[in-house]
């Protein structure tokens, strides 16, 4: 009988304590739920606000806008979670210290990845190259397919897919063959000391001006670039559209080759062709 009475008393005491705890934390739970809902909505609004703001800035890539938008959104969500835990009496200072330690550990573990992200941000902001442009570095060359935060996708002249980490593109000089509207091309031929230099120059200029794709300004020019006692080198220099550089430079090289080798009676005898300078794939 005494044991039954003690059990009833213990049960009533436990129920009373549970009711007291429920009353004590009910407001905290309701406040935490409301805080989570409001925080989730505010974090989404902040993310969209940052994305829309960056999207209206000229030169900011959409990938970069989305990246900063996600950073702001997740930072706001982390702050909301810390505030919710504070509602239940958890020491937020220790949570922030733990988050800092975790961030430091992750940063050390992903040092190479973070370097690629930092380089990707700089590439997207400064835009040394864009999608569709042909570039070349010390180790990488090709047409840009996509620029991401971690790596850049390229297609080589042979049609091969290449993925280059952004850190390898940011720390080296970059040659962009597509950025400027015009490009210069040179063709050099060798003639003997007995050949007429003026006639050779005139014929090279006629070939350049006959092609409508060769720009009139700057005007084509022909000159002696090197000479010795037995021979001289005459160079044809002209400007063409950057988009037509490959096609026009090859056509002009072929035209000069045919003009100086198929009509020996009208052109300097024993003229020889050399590889054009300044060409690139």
Give the 3-state secondary structure of 83-123. Answer: HHHHHCCCCHHHHHHHHHHHHHHHHHHCHHHHHHHHHHHHH
Contact at 8 Å (CB) between 139 and 168?
yes
The pTM of the whole model exceeds 0.85: no
Reported as a single tens digit per residue, the pLDDT across 207-257 is 999 999 999 999 999 999 998 888 999 999 999 998 899 999 999 999 999
Q: What topology is assigned to 182-273 in CATH?
A: Alpha-Beta Plaits (3.30.70)
**pLDDT average, residue stretch 78-85:** 78
- CATH topology match: 2-109 vs 123-176: no
pLDDT at 41: 86
Q: Is 74 left (phi over 0), alpha (psi -120 to 50) or beta?
A: alpha
How far are the Cα atoms of 86, 95, 108, 137 from residue 102, in angstroms, in the given order?
Answer: 20, 10, 10, 37
- Share the mean pLDDT of the chain: 79
d(CA 260, CA 192): 13
Q: Where are the domains of the chain?
A: 2-109, 123-176, 182-273
Instruction: Give the whole-angstrom CA distance, residue 281 versus residue 265.
Output: 35
What CATH class does 123-176 carry? mainly beta
The correct answer on CATH 3.30.450.20 for the domain covering 2-109 is no
The answer to whether 137 and 152 are in contact (CB under 8 A) is no
Is a pLDDT exceeding 90 seen at residue 143?
yes
């Amino acid at each position: 009988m005494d044991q039954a009475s003690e059990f009833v008393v213990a049960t009533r005491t436990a129920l009373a304590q549970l009711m007291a705890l429920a009353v004590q934390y009910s407001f905290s739970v309701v406040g935490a739920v409301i805080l989570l809902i409001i925080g989730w909505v505010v974090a989404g609004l902040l993310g969209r606000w940052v994305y829309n703001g960056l999207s209206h800035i000229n030169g900011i890539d959409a990938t970069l806008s989305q990246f900063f938008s996600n950073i702001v959104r997740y930072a706001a969500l982390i702050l909301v979670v810390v505030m919710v835990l504070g509602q239940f009496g958890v020491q937020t200072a220790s949570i922030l210290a733990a988050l800092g330690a975790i961030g430091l550990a992750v940063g050390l573990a992903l040092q190479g990845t973070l370097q690629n992200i930092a380089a990707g941000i700089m590439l997207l902001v400064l835009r040394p190259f864009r999608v569709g442009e042909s570039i070349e570095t010390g180790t990488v060359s090709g047409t840009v397919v996509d620029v991401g935060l971690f790596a850049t996708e390229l297609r080589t002249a042979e049609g091969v897919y290449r993925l280059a980490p952004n850190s390898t593109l940011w720390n080296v000089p970059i040659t962009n063959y597509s950025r400027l509207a015009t490009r210069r091309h040179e063709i050099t031929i060798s003639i003997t000391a007995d050949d007429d230099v003026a006639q050779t120059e005139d014929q090279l200029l006629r070939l350049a001006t006959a092609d409508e794709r060769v720009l009139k300004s700057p005007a084509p020019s022909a000159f002696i670039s090197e000479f010795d006692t037995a021979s001289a080198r005459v160079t044809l220099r002209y400007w063409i559209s950057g988009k037509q550089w490959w096609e026009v430079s090859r056509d002009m090289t072929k035209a000069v080759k045919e003009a100086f080798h198929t009509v020996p009676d009208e052109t300097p005898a024993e003229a020889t062709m050399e590889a054009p300078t300044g060409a690139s794939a």
